[in-house]
Chains A and B, each alone.
Chain A
Amino acid sequence: MAIEYLGLSKINGPLAVLEGVRGAAYDEIVEMTVNGSEPRLGRIIEIYDDKAVIQVYEGTEGMALRNTHTRLTGHPMELGVSEDMLGRTFNGIGVPIDGLGDIEPDMMLDVNGKPLNPVTREYPRNYIRTGISAIDGLTTLIRGQKLPIFSGNGLPHDQLAAQIVQQASLGDDSDEKFAIVFAAMGVKYDVADFFRRTFEESGVSSHVAMFINLANDPVVERLITPKVALTLAEYLAFEKNMHILVILTDMTSFAEAMREVSSSKGEIPSRKGYPGYLYSELAAIYERAGIVAGRSGSVTQIPILTMPGDDITHPIPDLTGYITEGQIVLDRLLQGQSVYPPINVLPSLSRLMKDGIGEGFTRKDHQDVANQLFSCYAKVGDARALASVIGEDELSPIDKKYLEFGKAFEQTFVGQDIHENRSILDTLNIGWKLLGMLPREELDRIDTKILDEFYQPTEPEDHKAVS
């Protein structure tokens, strides 16, 4: 017996208020019909007695206080999932938009998910080779990790993400099943199209499920898009034992949408107008990456966010950084020097790297090389600051060496072609070649035994060959 309620008592932005409801549950999904034909979905986000505040996913356009019928569904937002969803395209709430018909669901899952019990998690240790030196060498991506790309408008984060997807999937010669779940929240049409084309060109599109909420699609819809996408990812990973790479772009639009809804609801803002629960909401998304003990699948997340004003201390990148296991930071200065990918390695970090590299995983010198490159490149910054004051000519010989090292590092280690797929050994060898430009005493982060084995001073003419 489904009671339909006619009319609303208030509409404010994306929110509608319904009075006189009986038996409505918090977080329940309601189905609404506007003008007797147009179906919409909404979610109850607050209840007081018989008054329910409904957040309408498709937006409140065209709704009037009298033309809307509302029906309670009795359950929270659910997604029908199935393996057939790979190769298909959906809108932000999981309805197919590619004209290939409906999905026959294998099961219905609550999109909100549940927190994974820490004792049933398995600590991620398997690294994913991306073929990109700055990532493989210095911020290694681990299966089951959440490693966001902090970017800015106009930086090539989309190309980088696409390259990771192509090389990580194709470079993997094991026969384990691999798939990609792609969720776009409030992205430009061109961006969504870029990803679609890239997936097609690289021949992986049959392994990709795309959830698209474009910039001009309803704002509230993108609040649910990452959850819908992750629900499918969890199903494929933990029920179907696949390795899933989830790309979420752009998390900034997601947070903006949350601020918009929060302000229409009249909530007390905390930082920069974002609601106090921004951290919890972001965590509920990012923490859905991982590996469950006893199952062979995994969910790896690469969220992309554009830092407003390139400011890494803005609440969105800031809170993200506290939840995710590291970050890859893109830098406008490097972009200006035509370095691709313009990864600024100093603020970039992979927290899970230490347990997934070294002997038995990559090579025993990996951690030492990474530490040393970080430390030397940090000194390059000091030398450059000094050079800008006193001029390059006045620098001490060792500072000059650092300047040279810095340039070569950016050009040959960080920089690579958009189609270049480097092996981990290549990456480490380039690292050693660069370290060879510096005198051995400067290498204070490397164990003496490893130095003995790998260190070879580079002859000056070799630098030219490198750079």
Chain B
Amino acid sequence: MAKTGMIYGINGPIVHVKGDVGFQMHEMVTVGKDNLVGEVIGLSSASTTIQVYEETTGLKPGEIVTGSGSPVSVTLAPGILSNIFDGIERPLEEIAKTGGAYISRGVNVDSLDTKKLWDTHITAKKGDHLLPGSIIAEVPETPAIVHKVMLPPDMEGFVLDTVEDGQYTIQDRLLTLQLPDGSEREITMTQKWPIRIPRPTAKRFPPTMPLITGQRILDTMFPLAKGGTAAIPGGFGTGKTMTQHQIAKWSDADIIIYIGCGERGNEMTQVLEEFSELVDPKSGNPLMDRTTLIANTSNMPVAAREASLYSGLTLAEYYRDMGYHVAIMADSTSRWAEALRELSGRLEEMPAEEGFPAYLASRLSAFYERAGMMRNLNGTEGSVSIIGAVSPQGGDFSEPVTQNTKRFVRCFWGLDKSLAYARHFPAIQWLSSYSEYLTDLAPWYTEHVDKKFVDYRNRLVYILTQESSLMEIVKLIGSDVLPDDQKLVLEIAKVIRVGFLQQNAFHPDDTCVPLSKQYKMMEIILYLYQKSRSLISMGMPMSVLKEDKIFDKVIAMKYDIPNSKPEMFDEYKKMIDQFYDNVVERNA
């Protein structure tokens, strides 16, 4: 018998029910005669507070609120991938089929297709003793990903019997389980999990593997580990979304969950279109095959925006439990924080900094701590990496969301307005950004790329740091008066900035660059530096060195050397040697 209450007050997305009718915290409820979806967020003996995930227009006091008895959950089963959901896992395609171009209220659709037949291979056998999270069947969900059907993390027992391999819907029985208390339970592909509770795991590992993105400034300069957390803060127009798109497209994660939280509708459409056309370089399948989109655009109800991040996270954890590496793009966490602020304001809570509620920091930390490299209950290993965009007010990084996020992420990719104005993309500022994973990942780079990789990277950073202090002087007195060795630093720093850090997302080769090429590029730049330095120490002025245009050639190598032809780097080495000899000869 479902518990019910009567609406007493309505203020935007917040609805009050008089008295305590026995709902639990975070219980999912249906509100009013339109059956709007809501969640209980506050309880007292005098009143129950509910946030409604849909527009409350037309709701009246006296209408009924019905409890569901369970917390707000997502449905987990095959059919999640290459789909697009709203913030509470309702499929937007289905909503469009029933409701037309606009999202109407109180739509009642299943999260996942319950009619579709999936090719199922049963891996559990009669008599097996299954522990929580055990894999019981395999379903090729998309050409790229095999969906592993698992026992829910809170269930174990003996298999009494199973069905044959064949085609089943997500609601068909796959096996019957005898629980430890002797009762029998039919197991299907479907399980539900509350979005605000992390799915349990066996063990957490320190990060040891990088999430390779093909973006030079990320992979080489500020790498993110699989299972790591990163924040991309930047004012509007600095390229947060673009960076997120690039990572979603080219990173070597198995699964991408892209959460458009309070962002533009056209952007979600773009992701949908582009990802369906683009091909994953690893598997040759469309990128959409490994991607799930969660779209809660800025004009969709604010409470569902708050939930969208958790829904996405739970989907990610589910795929992690199968042993996949999952990367979450959350664009943008500031919109989520603003949704918290908006709801907190409606609840008339005491505001802390800038009107944000005092629990902003603890909510953020709880969110980012759900990332990690894990051993799952079933023995597989997988990871959830979180890449959160932050949209600071006025591009000012001292505001609460950026500052609190900085405390809980280990990788900080700060976007810079002046770089964006100069159309230097990705506009990640190399001096203010950092990655704490660098030391954790150094052994991996040594083993898989080259033992000098990290050393080269540090040398590039050193040159850039030198440049920044030299620029202070140049700003005061101009670059002409600098000694030649310092002019060379400026020139090489320019090569690094333009030739290495800048990356063209619209260039077929430059959009995603393998680590080996990134390494070779560093090698060539440093080789040029070394050779030029010895020329300078021989007393050659910088103006002579620049006659040869070798600097421009090195800058253009990102375009001139295709990713498939690493052997061309040797020609560049020869070219630099030749340049060295030429200069010596001419000025001897």
Q: Do A and B bind each other?
A: yes
A244 to nearest B CB, angstroms? Answer: 16
Does any Cβ of A come within 8 Å of B556's Cβ? yes
B8 at the interface (CB under 8 A from A): yes
B58 x A76 contact (CB < 8 A): yes
Partner of B101, one of A50, A120, A144, A389: A120
Residues of B within 8 A of A63 (CB): none
Asked if A292 CB lies within 8 Å of chain B CBs, one says yes
Instruction: Return the chain B residue nearest A293 by Cβ.
Output: B101
Of the 9-residue stretches B374-382, B415-423, B561-569, which lies at the interface with chain A?
B415-423
- Indicate whether B272 reaches chain A with its CB closer than 8 angstroms: yes
B394 interface neighbour in A122, A287, A312, Cβ under 8 Å: A312
Check B60–A121 contact: CB distance below 8 A: no
**Which of chain B's residues 402-452 have a Cβ closer than 8 Å to chain A?**
417-418, 421-424
Contact across chains for B8 and A268 when beta carbons are under 8 A apart: no
A47, A287, A323: the one contacting B10 at CB < 8 Å is A47
Interface residues of A in 382-398 (CB under 8 A from B): 385-386, 389-390, 394-396
Decide if B479 is an interface residue (CB 8 Å cutoff).
yes
Contact B418 A378 (CB under 8 A): yes
Given contacts A116-B102, A119-B84, A276-B342, contact A325 B266 (CB under 8 A): yes
B127 within 8 A of A: no
A404 to B103, CA, bound (A): 54
Q: Which of A145, A270, A326 contacts B345 (CB 8 A)?
A: A270
B59 lies within 8 A of A26 (CB): yes
B530-571 interface (Cβ within 8 A of A) = 549, 552, 555-556, 559
Contact of A396 among B93, B393, B480 (CB under 8 A): B480
A301-323 interface code vs B (CB 8 A; 1 in, 0 out): 00000000000111100100111
Q: Mark contacts of B1-34 with chain A using CB atoms, 8 A cut-off: 1 yes-contact digit, 0 otherwise.
A: 0000000111110001010000000000000000
Task: Establish whether residues B475 and A120, one from each chain, have CB atoms under 8 Å apart when the complex forms.
Answer: no
B241-266 residues at the A interface, CB under 8 angstroms: 260, 262, 264-266
CA distance A99 to B237 in the complex (A): 45
Q: Which stretch, B128-136, B167-175, B291-299, B460-468, touches the partner chain A?
A: B291-299
**B59 contact set on A, CB distance < 8 A:** 25-26
Within 8 A of B (CB), among A188-238: 238
For residue B456, give the distance in angstroms from its CB to the closest CB of chain A.
23
User: Is B478 located at the chain interface by the 8 A CB criterion?
Assistant: yes
**CB-defined contacts of A144 to chain B, threshold 8 Å:** 266
B101 touches A117 (CB 8 A): yes
Residues of A257-273 contacting chain B, CB below 8 A: 267-271
Contact A115 B297, beta carbon cutoff 8 Å: yes
B355 within 8 A of A: yes
Chain B min CB distance to A203 (Å): 32
**Which of A113, A118, A120, A121 lies at the interface centre, i.e. has the most chain B CB atoms within 10 A of its CB?**
A118
Which residues 59-116 of B sit at the A interface, judged by CB distance below 8 A? Answer: 59-62, 84, 92-93, 95-96, 99-104
Q: For residue A49, which residues in chain B have a CB less than 8 angstroms away from its CB?
A: 8-9, 18, 61
- Would A268 and B93 count as touching, CB distance under 8 A? no
CA distance A283 to B264 in the complex (A): 9
Instruction: Please tell me if B351 contacts chain A, counting CB pairs below 8 Å.
Output: yes
A346 CB within 8 Å of chain B: yes
CB neighbors of B among A306-365 (8 A): 312-315, 318, 321-323, 325-327, 346-347, 349, 351-352, 354-355
* Contacting residues of chain A (111-130) with chain B, CB-CB under 8 angstroms: 112-124
The answer on a CB contact under 8 Å between B394 and A374 is: no
User: What is the bound-complex CA distance between A448 and B236, given in angstroms?
Assistant: 31
| B56 contacts the other chain (CB 8 A) | yes
Q: Are B475 and A46 in contact (CB under 8 A)?
A: no
- In angstroms, how far is the closest chain B Cβ from the Cβ of A360? 15
Determine if B325 is an interface residue (Cβ-Cβ < 8 Å).
Answer: no
CB nearest to B236 among chain A residues: A321
Q: Does chain B have a CB within 8 A of A463? A: no
Contact flag A124-B237 (CB < 8 Å), given A28-B58, A114-B102, A119-B84: no
Chain B residue nearest to A76 in the complex (CB) = B57
Counting CB contacts under 8 A, is A4 at the interface? no
Q: Which residues of chain B are within 8 angstroms of A447 by Cβ–Cβ distance?
A: 559
Q: Which one of A124, A283, A347, A390 lies within 8 Å of B477 (CB-CB)? A: A390
**Could you tell me which residues of chain B, from 307 to 349, have a CB within 8 Å of some CB in chain A?**
335, 338, 341-342, 344-346, 348-349
Q: Does B396 contact A (CB under 8 A)?
A: yes
Mark each residue of chain B from 475 to 514: 1 if its CB lies under 8 Å from any CB of chain A, else 0: 1111110000000000000000010000000100000000
Judging by beta carbons under 8 Å apart, are A119 and B96 in contact?
Answer: yes
Task: Say if the beta carbon of A151 comes within 8 Å of chain B.
Answer: no
Q: B7 to nearest A CB, angstroms? A: 9
Nearest CB of chain B from residue A361's CB, rounded to whole Å: 14
B559 A379 Cβ-Cβ under 8 A: no
B525 at the interface (CB under 8 A from A): no
Q: Contact size class for A?
A: 35 or more
Tell me the minimal C-beta distance from B239 to chain A in angstroms: 10
> Is A140 part of the contact surface with B, judged by Cβ < 8 Å?
no
Chain B CB within 10 A, most for which of A267, A395, A444:
A444
Q: Are A277 and B11 in contact (CB under 8 A)?
A: no
A455 at the B interface (CB under 8 A): no
Interface residue ranges of A11-70 to B (CB < 8 Å): 23-28, 46-50
A168–B235 alpha-carbon span in the complex (Å)? 30
A385 touches B266 (CB 8 A): no
In contact, B298 and A287 (Cβ under 8 angstroms):
yes
Closest chain B residue, CB of each to CB of A311: B394
Task: Tell whether A71 is near chain B: CB-to-CB under 8 Å.
Answer: no
Asked if A441 is an interface residue, CB under 8 A from chain B, the answer is yes
A334 to chain B, nearest CB (A): 15
Most buried by B among A121, A312, A386, A394: A121
Chain B residues, CB < 8 A from A47: 9-11, 60-61
Instruction: Report the separation of the CA atoms of residues A206 and B96 in the bound assembly, to the nearest whole angstrom.
Output: 35
Interface string of A399-416 (1 = CB under 8 A from B): 100000000000000000
Say yes or no: A448 contacts B556, CB within 8 Å: yes
**Does B184 lie at the interface of the complex (its beta carbon under 8 Å from any beta carbon of A)?**
no
Is A284's CB under 8 angstroms from B265's CB?
Answer: no
B478 touches A123 (CB 8 A): no
Given contacts A118-B84, A322-B236, A371-B423, contact A287 B418 (CB under 8 A): no
Question: Are the CB atoms of B265 and A121 closer together than 8 Å?
Answer: yes
Whether A389 and B475, one on each chain, are in contact in the complex, defined by CB atoms closer than 8 angstroms, is yes
Q: Nearest chain-B residue to A26 (Cβ)? A: B10
Q: Judging by beta carbons under 8 Å apart, are A379 and B299 in contact?
A: no
Asked if A445 lies at the interface with its beta carbon under 8 angstroms from chain B, I say yes
A278-301 vs B, CB cutoff 8 Å, 1 = contact: the mask equals: 011001101110101100000000
State whether the Cβ of B528 lies closer than 8 Å to any Cβ in chain A: no
Which residues of chain B are within 8 angstroms of A89 by Cβ–Cβ distance?
none
Nearest chain-B residue to A390 (Cβ)? Answer: B478
Q: Determine the distance from Cα of A80 to Cα of B467 in the docked complex, in whole angstroms.
A: 64
**A-B CB proximity, top 4 nearest:** A313-B394, A270-B355, A283-B298, A378-B422
A: residues with CB less than 8 A from B are: 23-28, 46-50, 75-76, 112-124, 144-145, 238, 267-271, 275-277, 279-280, 283-284, 286-288, 290, 292-293, 312-315, 318, 321-323, 325-327, 346-347, 349, 351-352, 354-355, 367, 371, 374-375, 378-379, 385-386, 389-390, 394-396, 399, 441, 444-445, 447-448
Can you spell out 10 A-B residue pairs with CB atoms less than 8 angstroms apart?
A: A46-B9, A48-B16, A49-B8, A113-B102, A115-B103, A118-B297, A123-B270, A288-B299, A346-B421, A448-B556
- Residues of B in contact with A (beta carbons under 8 Å apart): 8-12, 16, 18, 55-62, 84, 92-93, 95-96, 99-104, 235-237, 260, 262, 264-266, 268-270, 272-273, 295, 297-300, 302, 335, 338, 341-342, 344-346, 348-349, 351, 354-356, 391, 393-396, 417-418, 421-424, 474-480, 498, 506, 549, 552, 555-556, 559
Beyond A24-B61, A115-B265, A119-B272, list 13 extra A-B contacts (CB 8 Å): A26-B10, A26-B57, A47-B11, A115-B300, A120-B100, A121-B265, A269-B355, A276-B344, A318-B236, A318-B394, A374-B421, A441-B549, A445-B423
